[in-house]
Amino acid sequence: MTFTTVLTFTAGAALNIALLAFGARRLLGEQRFSLSRTVVAGLAGQTAGNAIINALAAGEPASLGAKGGPPYGVVIGFVALGWACALLIAMAILVVWQAFVPAGTVPPPTSWPGRLRARAARSARYWQIVRIFTRCGLSYVAVEAHSGAMGGSASTEFMVRTDAGEDDVAHCATCGYAANIERATSAGPIAATTQGEARTLAKFPTPGVKTIEDLAAPPFARPATQQLKTLVYMADGALLLAIVRGDDELNEAKLQTASGAQLLRPALAEEIAPALGAKPGSLGGVGVVAGQGKIARLFVDRTLSGAIGMVTGANADGFHLEGVDVGRDLAGAELIDLRKVKAGEACPSCGKGTLALFKALEIGHIFKLGTKYSDSLGARVLDEQGREVPIVMGSYGIGVERIAAGIEASQGDRLDGTANVYDLDSVHLRQLF
């Protein structure tokens, strides 16, 4: 191998990788771009390109104008043609590699059908939206989300971090886990549940106690971590109870998902008293049998599983119960994740990092609906075999006006590369897609 051959390969590879990286970033977006894959594809393409150069120059690309070798101009033409072929080959390698083994995902199945199914886990529309936001110059993060009353699965929101945002996002810097606060989970609360001794239930008077803080203050001195907070909700016209620890906050989105309710709201005082026999401030789940009486379902946060010696309302105004054993006294309850996560709690994904919370602005939201609505509406099409099948649906939303707000939140006064965004017309919109 001559010095000129090495120089040709090195220069060609450097140019190849640089052009490939520039094109791949624009085509795939930051979240799918992989520098290591680009380098490997560039080197492989240049290797093939050099083989083409050697073949065209009869194995003597170094003999520029030398006796017996091709003329100088011809060799330069061979080199340029070889470099062009190298770039095309490298692009083909990178595209095929990315198509079947997306960067940043778990290792794919070994079979080609399995790889295709893994690739389809994130729809083509997902990547189109990623391209749109990337081309708009947005600094965004894709987070797990709640689909809302429409239902659905694989819900993803695209968020721009800004103090002016209306949503809270939980994020782990160690593994990259990110979720809207409505969907976020953690490994559990930082403070352990304060448990009393195993004992029988005892009713005691608590005059004037209306809140968790009232019961935690003297003379009762029952810490919030030992209390059971009982909340009553109206779900599609039926009452249900949701119980979390006294220092935790109920996540209504999780309750809606668990109950399957289309409409969920806090119950009114005049709806609560006839069902439980007491006003808010003295409510509890002990003695309540879901499905019997006026309470349709009873939910308890799963972090309370096995808790003993707890305190809760006695369903009698001015009285509470102590010695509550969740497993014994709330045996008919459904144990689910109900609480809102808090900053500093352990990440549920990696278990090593801790969650940080930040404000964010939602700029897009996508989720799968499957055949939920097409089945109920009778919306059907013919497949390749001529059989009637329900339409598979999805929801793909982009907040056009939110993009402008997101750009300003991401870039401040710079607004680099946003001319095509602010001068929106039909042509520019088509180009974005």
Sheet (strand 238-245) strand order? 264-266, 228-235, 238-245, 295-301, 334-336
Comparing 179 with 88, the larger pLDDT belongs to 179
Residue % of the chain over a pLDDT of 70: 72
- Give 251-304 pLDDT, tens digit per residue: 999 999 899 998 999 999 999 999 999 999 999 999 999 988 899 999 999 999
Q: How confident is the model at residue 429 (pLDDT cuts 50, 70, 90)?
A: very low
CATH number for position 391: 3.30.930.10
CATH number at residue 232: 3.90.960.10
Most confident listed range (14-23, 86-95, 256-265): 256-265
**pLDDT (average), residues 20-34:** 58
pLDDT number for residue 233: 98
* Predicted confidence (pLDDT) at residue 238 exceeds the cutoff of 70: yes
Q: Which tens digit of pLDDT belongs to each residue from 377-409?
A: 899 988 888 889 998 888 888 888 888 888 887
Structure tokens at 427: 């042509």
Task: Please tell me the predicted confidence (pLDDT) of residue 164.
Answer: 87
Is 56 a domain residue? Answer: yes
Q: What is the mean pLDDT of residues 92-110?
A: 49
181 plus 239 within the same structural domain: no
Nearest-angstrom CA–CA distance, 68 and 376: 80
Domain end call among 81, 114, 147? 114
pLDDT of residue 373: 86
Same domain, 298 and 221: yes
45 or 219, which is more confident: 219
Residue pLDDT, tens place only, 322-366: 999 999 999 889 999 999 999 999 999 988 999 999 999 999 988
pLDDT of residue 426: 47
**Same domain? 295 vs 391:** no
Residues 106 and 212 in one domain: no
pLDDT of residue 212: 97
Into how many domains does the chain fold? 3
Residue 404 lies in a domain: yes
Is residue 326 assigned to a domain?
Answer: yes
More reliable by pLDDT, 201 or 37 = 201
Shared domain for 217 and 100, answered yes or no, is no
Output the pTM of the full model.
0.65
3-state DSSP assignment of residue 175: coil
For 140, the token pair is 């965004």
264 forms beta bridges with: 235
Residue 298 main-chain phi, psi, to 5 deg: -130, 120
What pLDDT score does 64 carry? 44
CA distance 182 to 249: 12
Of 114, 130, 151, which residue sits at a domain end?
114
Distance CA 51, CA 32 (A): 30
Whether the predicted pLDDT of 170 surpasses 70 = yes
Q: Are residues 217 and 329 in the same domain?
A: yes
Q: Quick one: pLDDT band at residue 313, thresholds 50, 70, 90?
A: very high
Q: Of the spans 8-12, 13-17, 22-26, 193-197, which averages the highest pLDDT?
A: 193-197
What would the two tokens of residue 181 be?
Answer: 């606060």
**Same domain for 282 and 157?**
no
Q: In this structure, are 221 and 311 located in the same domain?
A: yes
With 80 as the cut, is the pLDDT of residue 422 above it?
no
Claim to verify: residue 297 and residue 180 sit in the same structural domain: no
**Nearest-angstrom CA–CA distance, 288 and 15:** 73
Q: Is the pLDDT confidence value at 195 over 50?
A: yes
| Residue 191 placed within a domain | no
| Res 113: pLDDT | 43
Q: What pLDDT is stored for residue 106 in this prediction?
A: 33
Q: What is the pLDDT of residue 91?
A: 73
Q: Is residue 78 part of a domain?
A: yes
Residues 242 and 289 in one domain: yes
Q: Is residue 194 part of a domain?
A: no
Q: Structural domain of residue 97, as residue ranges?
A: 3-114
pLDDT at 94: 65
Residue that terminates a domain, selected from 285, 311, 336: 336
* Same domain? 329 vs 212: yes
Same domain, 75 and 99: yes
With beta carbons less than 8 A apart as the criterion, state whether 91 and 26 touch.
no
The answer to whether position 342 is within a domain reads: no
* Domain membership flag for residue 196: no
